[in-house]
Amino acid sequence: MNNRYDVVIAGAGPAGGQCARDLVARGYDVVVLETESEDEFPRQSNKSTAGTFPSMMASFGIPDDVVMQYTDSVVLESPTDHYVQEQPGAVLEFADFKRFLVEDGRDGGAEYLFDARVTAPIMENGEIVGVRYNGDEEVYGDIVIDATGPSAPLAKKLDVVDLKRENHAIGIEYEFEGIDIDRPGFADLNDAMMLRLDHEIAPGGYSWVFHTGEDTAKVGLCYLQNEHHSRYAKDGHTVDDYLEHWLETDPRFANAERLEGKQHRGSAHLQLPERMHTDRFMAIGDTVPTVDPLWGEGINKCMQSGRVAAVAVDSCLKHGLEPTAENLEVYDTLWHRDVAPNQRKRLLMTQLLYLAPNERYDQFMADLHRLDEETLAAANNGNILALAKLFDIDDAPLLARFAKQHLKLDQFL
Ligand SMILES: Cc1cc2nc3c(=O)[nH]c(=O)nc-3n(C[C@H](O)[C@H](O)[C@H](O)COP(=O)(O)OP(=O)(O)OC[C@H]3O[C@@H](n4cnc5c(N)ncnc54)[C@H](O)[C@@H]3O)c2cc1C
């Protein structure tokens, strides 16, 4: 094996896989190091529900054969109500999707090294020049990219990211058959991705049912392990206990059976990045982190971050420029401008959403029915005037509590 490349990428997730595809398309020598073995890939990292939208599929040339189910709507549920938004989407088979990224990258000329756990940067004169993996093995590159998701071994050692425990969101999901997809009294979940706001089921977070055809679906929940969670949590309950509780109490799951081996779990941090690159180095995807905090859309965002990192590589190497922090600055600029333009506002909206009590979630569904689609789209993008239309005088106590907490929440931002 050659041990010198233009670019070394740690992690074969959506971010690293896409970055590699874009770089080989521009003719660079790229190696991707992945900790898992190729035979079982992805195993532990097969963590995502993988609901996505046509813009992602088209932008990145993702083939139909990694799609489990095309969907027509996104449904929001509260404890006693729901709201349906017509919106085409796709639920991917995340494992097939990850393997496609590897195959396609390889076809383009990327080298993939499985069973390669990256542990540390190799430093020369204060700059990263390569990575150490599996103890004492080494590989060198002009630019190194950490795309290992929340484990971030390089970004942490280089002090580029500081992923905080209080911003750590955990999620669990099972795939089921035998679900009552169109149960009277609930929304019709045929061809839908449903997200449910209900502290009884996911305290300080949300749960979901993503339809995968006939009577099958991905069912899961996630929450941030912070004070919003503690406020509504049941003593001693784990994330598994909450899912169990939902399965036992929701009549749609009365005859549901788990599909063997179809369990996924994972985590991400929801926080605003301070830095995401330094000399010869960029952190991408959930290492930054890049996932959208409000609804957990990470695949598209992380692939976009891989794409803008590839642009930054090209802007240096093509012109023979040293990839100094200054010359790689274009990565940060594009991340903030194009990949996650409203991240600060969306983090605040996330805090506010999870602080609201269950009764407010029911009222929220009524608000969604009342407002036109344009206002809702603007509110989702953090437009203050549109957001203001979602609140009334009865929200004063909630907003006051939010303002008070926000004063203490500077670490979050
Ligand atoms: C339960 C759950 C449900 C989700 N549902 C959705 C959804 O419906 N839609 C959506 O868009 N997003 C969803 N997301 C978010 C999305 O999956 C992530 O944002 C996305 O996978 C992040 O991509 P990434 O490439 O940055 O990191 P990851 O997907 O974490 O990939 C990192 C890769 O690096 C490897 N790695 C880790 N450490 C090392 C190391 N030391 N050396 C070498 N390799 C290493 C891992 O094995 C993995 O292959 C969900 C996440 C979770 C946890």
- Quote the pLDDT of residue 1: 62
Residues of the chain with pLDDT under 50: 409-413
What is the CA(365)–ligand 1 centre distance, in A?
A: 31
- Find the CATH number of the domain harbouring 155: 3.50.50.60
- Where would I find the H helices in 114-234? 153-157, 227-232
What is the CA(148)–ligand 1 centre distance, in A?
A: 8
User: What SS3 class is residue 252?
Assistant: helix
250 and 299 share a domain?
no
Domain assignment of residue 179, given as a range: 166-267
> Identity (one letter) of the amino acid at 90?
A
The residue contributing the CA closest to ligand 1 atom 29 is 13
260 and 196 share a domain?
yes
Q: Domains in the chain: how many in total?
A: 3
CA–CA dist 260, 263 (Å, integer) = 8
Residues ≥6 apart with Cβ < 8 Å to 355: 228, 231, 398, 401, 402, 405
Q: Which helix (H) or strand (E) holds 320?
A: none
| C-alpha angle 353-357-362 in degrees, rounded to nearest 5 | 85
Residue ending a domain, choose from 267, 287, 306: 267
387 and 330 share a domain?
no
User: What SS3 class is residue 17?
Assistant: helix
What is the CA(284)–ligand 1 centre distance, in A?
A: 11
Q: What is the pLDDT of residues 184-196, one digit of tens each?
A: 999 999 999 999 9
- Find the CATH number of the domain harbouring 233: 3.30.9.10
326 and 221 share a domain?
no
User: What SS3 class is residue 242?
Assistant: helix
- Quote the pLDDT of residue 347: 87
329 and 389 share a domain?
no
157 and 291 share a domain?
yes
CA–CA dist 286, 154 (Å, integer) = 13
116 and 182 share a domain?
no
259 and 296 share a domain?
no
Strands 137-146 and 281-283: parallel
- Where would I find the H helices in 136-190? 153-157
- Quote the pLDDT of residue 103: 98
- Where would I find the H helices in 42-146? 54-59, 94-108
Q: Which helix (H) or strand (E) holds 32?
A: strand 30-33
Nearest to 127 by CA among 275, 281, 8: 281
373 and 392 share a domain?
yes
Q: Cβ(351)–Cβ(68) under 8 Å? A: no
Q: Is 15 near ligand 1, meaning CB less than 6 Å away?
A: yes
Q: Is 268 near ligand 1, meaning CB less than 6 Å away?
A: yes
Residue ending a domain, choose from 267, 292, 317: 267
> Identity (one letter) of the amino acid at 282?
M
Atom of ligand 1 nearest to the CA of 193: 8
Q: What is the pLDDT of residues 357-372, one digit of tens each?
A: 899 899 889 888 888 8
347 and 250 share a domain?
no
Across 149-302, where does the E strand assignment appear?
168-177, 192-196, 205-213, 216-224, 257-269, 277-278, 281-283
Kindly state whether residue 379 falls inside one of the protein's structural domains.
yes
Kindly state whether residue 70 falls inside one of the protein's structural domains.
no
289 and 391 share a domain?
no
Q: Which helix (H) or strand (E) holds 201?
A: none
Structure tokens at 256: 């549901």
215 and 130 share a domain?
no
